[in-house]
């Protein structure tokens, strides 16, 4: 009886894992905010008495280190198509972890520098839209100062 329920549970776990693998990508989960991530990082550091180590310079070095770990995933693979279709499930999972490390250190760095990252990123998006007007740069990868010269 115990063996049968254990086998059934194992099968259910396998099916759940398979379904997770097959789930179609549909953008990001909709409810998580940068403020929620900032708060989680504050709680994480407070609980470990790590604020003493989370200075801006240390956080920047940690962020750069994580960008290096992220780069390693793509190293020697040649061009990778959107969606990373040739990545194994394990590689894709590792990719998610390293992207998260980068984001978490970025959020923590912004917080320790007292930069409101949510506002800053929205301002930056507006600046980029003005710098690269769609009607002028459509289909071009030129830098903003190059298309200004050519037009
Ligand atoms: Mg990492």
pTM for the whole thing? 0.81
Tokens 């280190």 sit on residue:
65
Cα(93) to ligand 1 centroid in Å equals: 12
Rounded CA-CA distance 80/56 in Å is 33
* Predicted pLDDT at 15: 66
Cα(108) to ligand 1 centroid in Å equals: 15
Q: pLDDT 10s digit of each residue in the chain, 151 long?
A: 567 777 877 777 676 666 555 678 999 999 999 999 999 999 999 999 999 999 999 999 999 999 999 999 999 999 999 999 999 999 999 999 999 999 999 999 999 999 999 999 999 999 999 999 999 999 988 887 887 665 5
Cα(73) to ligand 1 centroid in Å equals: 11
Cα(91) to ligand 1 centroid in Å equals: 13
**Which of these, 46, 50, 48, 56, lies nearest to 107 by C-alpha position?**
56
* Predicted pLDDT at 141: 85
* Predicted pLDDT at 4: 77
Cα(70) to ligand 1 centroid in Å equals: 7
**Which of these, 31, 26, 47, 43, lies nearest to 107 by C-alpha position?**
43
Note whether 98 and 69 are within 8 A (CB): yes
* Predicted pLDDT at 22: 63
Cα(62) to ligand 1 centroid in Å equals: 9
Rounded CA-CA distance 142/5 in Å is 61
* Predicted pLDDT at 19: 59
């Amino acid at each position: 009886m115990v063996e049968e329920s254990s086998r059934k549970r194992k099968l259910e776990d396998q099916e759940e894992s398979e379904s997770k693998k097959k789930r179609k990508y549909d953008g990001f989960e909709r409810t998580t905010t940068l403020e929620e991530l900032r708060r989680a990082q504050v709680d994480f550091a407070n609980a470990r008495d790590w604020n003493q180590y989370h200075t801006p310079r240390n956080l920047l070095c940690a962020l750069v280190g994580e960008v290096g770990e992220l780069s390693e995933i793509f190293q020697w693979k040649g061009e990778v198509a959107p969606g990373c279709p040739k990545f194994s499930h394990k590689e894709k999972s590792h990719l998610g972890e390293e992207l998260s490390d980068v984001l978490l250190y970025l959020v923590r760095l912004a917080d320790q520098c007292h930069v409101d990252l949510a506002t800053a990123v929205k301002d930056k998006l507006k600046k980029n839209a003005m710098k690269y007007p769609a009607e002028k740069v459509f289909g071009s990868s030129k830098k903003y100062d190059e298309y200004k010269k050519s037009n």
